[in-house]
Amino acid sequence: MTRPLHILCAAGLVLALAACGPGDEREDPFGETAEAPASDAVGQPRPALTLDDLGGRSHHLDEWNGQVVLVNFWATWCPPCQDEMPLLDRLHARYEDEGFAVVGIAIDRRDRVEQFVEAHGIGFPVLLGDAEAARSSADFGNAFGALPFSAVIDREGIIRFTWMGQLQEAEAVAAIEPLL
């Protein structure tokens, strides 16, 4: 059974509270604080993944070995994905000189991604994924297949942080800075 991708996006909003690091407390939109479990992928090696960029060139995540990398699975039709793009772009620009990169994996049609990247001036690499790439996000810790989904990978290629739903700046900075 297939589910429309907009349902996955909505699921990311609902499940964001359950995708925090160990011992992290998050305040939910209803004013309650909840502790959430870490993803099973945290502490595991980064999965292999090869995808094309918007120019049709193939890229393997090995290209970013030795850097701290935030891999972000997203789509143009997903409102929280759209909302977090300026943050991802700021993080990329802010830490790029310290060996940090954001790699976006768009689960969407090429034409829509090209229009979005151009309209928003995205400065980090964007790779195109299909349904298989969406399923591969589970290897990064995305147990529910929700969008947006992010994973931070350290310089040794180990997943150190995962987040289901829209990233918040303080959480992203707290995950990235100790690894630089």
Band (pLDDT 50/70/90 cuts) for residue 38 is: low
pLDDT at 14 over 80: no
Number of domains in the chain: 1
> Which amino acid, 43?
G
Kindly report, residue by residue over 53-73, the tens digit of the pLDDT.
999 999 999 999 999 999 999
Region of 132 (left: φ > 0; alpha: ψ -120 to 50; beta: rest) is alpha
Question: CATH no. for residue 97?
Answer: 3.40.30.10
Domain residues for 78?
A: 5-179
Q: How confident is the model over 12-41, as a mean pLDDT? A: 41
Structure confidence at residue 40 (pLDDT) = 85
Spell out the alpha helix ranges (H) of the chain. 5-15, 79-95, 110-120, 131-136, 169-176
Helix (H, G, I), strand (E, B) or coil at 170: helix
Band (pLDDT 50/70/90 cuts) for residue 39 is: confident
Q: How confident is the model over 11-36, as a mean pLDDT? A: 36
Helix (H, G, I), strand (E, B) or coil at 77: coil
What pTM was estimated for this model as a whole? 0.79
Rounded to the nearest angstrom, the gap between the alpha carbon of residue 145 and the centroid of all alpha carbons in its chain is 12
Rounded to the nearest angstrom, the gap between the alpha carbon of residue 172 and the centroid of all alpha carbons in its chain is 11
